[in-house]
Structure 1
């Protein structure tokens, strides 16, 4: 690793504290060092390490921070909720947050912006809210995994994007008709041009130009190679520039996307209702699984009770007996049968009638 020997880099947790002690945001640090905001986040979480001249600039910027430990400022990003803690004054012990409090903090930080970003992908307000709510329900259901993730906000964002771009939404009756477009003509034209892009290209454009992720981070989140992500981004920019000539410069696209999402006036649900919905959904699935298991056991038991316990040979097919005429099908009598019937009627019957005395 290439870094300045005179100004060594502090540990990742100390990097964030030094930045906050100077009241600097990640965007301001990224602008001074010459990198993206997500790259600064990766440096502070320890996922990557700066190198070369960028490491020297970053180390010099952190070295100018005061050495005294400041009071805990308001977080500018969503840290891993498992390590979020409330710091007391003096030597008071650190009180860790409960899982519900950590989840609510992550939701309050990410949900409003994530709903607006998801709206850019779908063009539907209700679908954007549903996707974000579903993503956070999954996050609460898998909270032990999400809490220790290096980037929990990225985990929720990727899940929300997957839910929003699911092809199964086309079969829903409420999504067969488009929603009302934005009132502003410029916003309407921008949203229409954005929705003409294929979903992977649209997602890449929103992540890179709208959210400000770097190309490697965008490629990783879209599960594509860096070259494929660069090709998608170039194609998306060319398509947008063709439909909207005033957005040829990518630097002008980000504020336009932010303005479009802000004008939509989207609101997220309360975190308590999201947690309750996640628990209710998990409870319903558990009850359905138990009911299916009980039905399967009942069907198996019934089959075992009613199944035959010994072998019963099948009934042999009928055979023709020699000398016995085949049974005639019902129908009109033949001449021979009519003559036989007449003869039987005219012949003196046998039986008790023959014992009666004949009149003289």
Structure 2
């Protein structure tokens, strides 16, 4: 691959690493496989093969761990005469030790790689690739606070460069750490907890649904420095996938295989995206176009580090983020319990009031022919009214009672 992705053996020596051929020789001399080296350093076997062929070089925390691993492999093994003298010879001493010399060398290299110093927690974006050094046994809250204090400032800067919005960047960081605290056992045992949180923050910050929010319609205050404005506009003009690839490779400092893995793409695809993104940025940033392609990555890292937003990116304290996540969980739990109670009450009421037997519906009425319709009483005629009045007024009995009198 060409462009800023390409590295050489001379650049590897500047990073304090031996040439790719020497790396392979040290591994084969210790009788180690790519998988064993990858497990010791904390990467994939494909990444180790890429380092040994010279296609890529480790960067950031991986570079320090790999350098410590190779240094331990290159160290001369302990002479047999300096071992335990309780047995009769070298063969007996080796059998009492119970571990071959190559296995001891691999164990020493793994220990050195595990003890390699990690990058300090600074404001720069590339320092977020490190992991806080393991200390004495602490509680989950203390471990979470240490991870938050280490990664939150740099992660806020990265999400700001990805979105250009300060409020959205801080919310994405807080959302990522809130989810990390809710799933802390999984995050605490993850080989790269910072990467776990970074992936969640990037996904939330780059979600296309934010464009429908009312706050997204208002433009954030732009940086005061014209160079910073040009850089931010150039980064935001990139497609979302190219923007994320540039931030991981140039801002965070991941190597190309790790960048491809985090963006869920193949290594050649990530390389093509990176080359095209560098070409687009060089067309928009004058000082980036003046440097050769192999130095564009270092210049972009410096530009990302020195960019100053219009308002400070100060994440909330770790205790506030942790407490907010716990309150949100309690509210959701209470809401779920309340909804369950309402559903149970409605179900019980329905079970009590529902019919317990079948009642056939009444048949609709039908018209019957030949039957006169029911009508009310007829109006009284003059003769009928006389008889009516006589019956009410005359108490006599007999036929004369019903015979009308002539007036």
Closer/same/farther in 2, CA of residues 352 and 42 from structure 1, 3 Å limit: farther
CA distance in structure 1 between the partners assigned to 2:275 and 2:195 by the alignment: 23
Residue aligning to 2:388:
352
**Alpha carbons 1:219, 1:226 under 8 Å: kept:** yes
Q: Pick from 179, 184, 187: which aligns with 2:220?
A: 179
Q: Does 1:76 align with 2:76?
A: no
Q: Secondary structure at the match of 1:154?
A: helix
Q: How many residues align?
A: 305
Closer/same/farther in 2, CA of residues 120 and 321 from structure 1, 3 Å limit: same
Closer/same/farther in 2, CA of residues 231 and 290 from structure 1, 3 Å limit: same
Q: Secondary structure at the match of 2:312?
A: coil
305-314 or 160-169, which deviates more: 160-169
Superposition deviation, residue 212 in structure 1: 1.5
Residue aligning to 1:118:
159
Q: Does 1:300 align with 2:347?
A: yes
293-302 or 347-356, which deviates more: 347-356
Instruction: Note the 1:1-360 alignment, pairs <5 A.
Output: 2-4=24-26, 35-40=58-63, 43=66, 55=70, 59=73, 76=119, 84-86=134-136, 96-248=137-289, 249=293, 250-251=296-297, 252-260=299-307, 265-324=312-371, 344=379, 346=381, 348-349=383-384, 352-355=388-391, 358=405, 360=407
Stretches of structure 1 that go unaligned for 5 or more consecutive residues are 17-32, 64-68, 87-95, 329-340
CA distance in structure 2 between the partners assigned to 1:115 and 1:42 by the alignment: 26
Closer/same/farther in 2, CA of residues 98 and 191 from structure 1, 3 Å limit: same
CA distance in structure 2 between the partners assigned to 1:276 and 1:225 by the alignment: 39
**Alpha carbons 1:128, 1:164 under 8 Å: kept:** yes
Q: Secondary structure at the match of 1:188?
A: helix
Q: Secondary structure at the match of 1:265?
A: coil
CA distance in structure 2 between the partners assigned to 1:80 and 1:35 by the alignment: 16
CA distance in structure 1 between the partners assigned to 2:243 and 2:262 by the alignment: 13
CA distance in structure 2 between the partners assigned to 1:102 and 1:74 by the alignment: 18
| Larger Rg belongs to | 2
Q: Secondary structure at the match of 1:224?
A: coil
Residue aligning to 2:47:
none
Superposition deviation, residue 223 in structure 1: 1.4
Closer/same/farther in 2, CA of residues 136 and 347 from structure 1, 3 Å limit: same
CA distance in structure 1 between the partners assigned to 2:305 and 2:177 by the alignment: 22
Closer/same/farther in 2, CA of residues 145 and 238 from structure 1, 3 Å limit: same
**Alpha carbons 1:122, 1:165 under 8 Å: kept:** yes
CA distance in structure 2 between the partners assigned to 1:245 and 1:61 by the alignment: 47
Superposition deviation, residue 327 in structure 1: 9.3
Residue aligning to 1:66:
none
Stretches of structure 2 that go unaligned for 5 or more consecutive residues are 1-22, 43-55, 78-111, 121-128, 394-403
Closer/same/farther in 2, CA of residues 61 and 203 from structure 1, 3 Å limit: farther
What TM-score, normalized to structure 1? Answer: 0.73
CA distance in structure 2 between the partners assigned to 1:141 and 1:294 by the alignment: 25
Q: Secondary structure at the match of 2:238?
A: coil
Q: Secondary structure at the match of 1:228?
A: helix
**Alpha carbons 2:228, 2:308 under 8 Å: kept:** no
CA distance in structure 2 between the partners assigned to 1:277 and 1:136 by the alignment: 11
171-180 or 286-295, which deviates more: 171-180
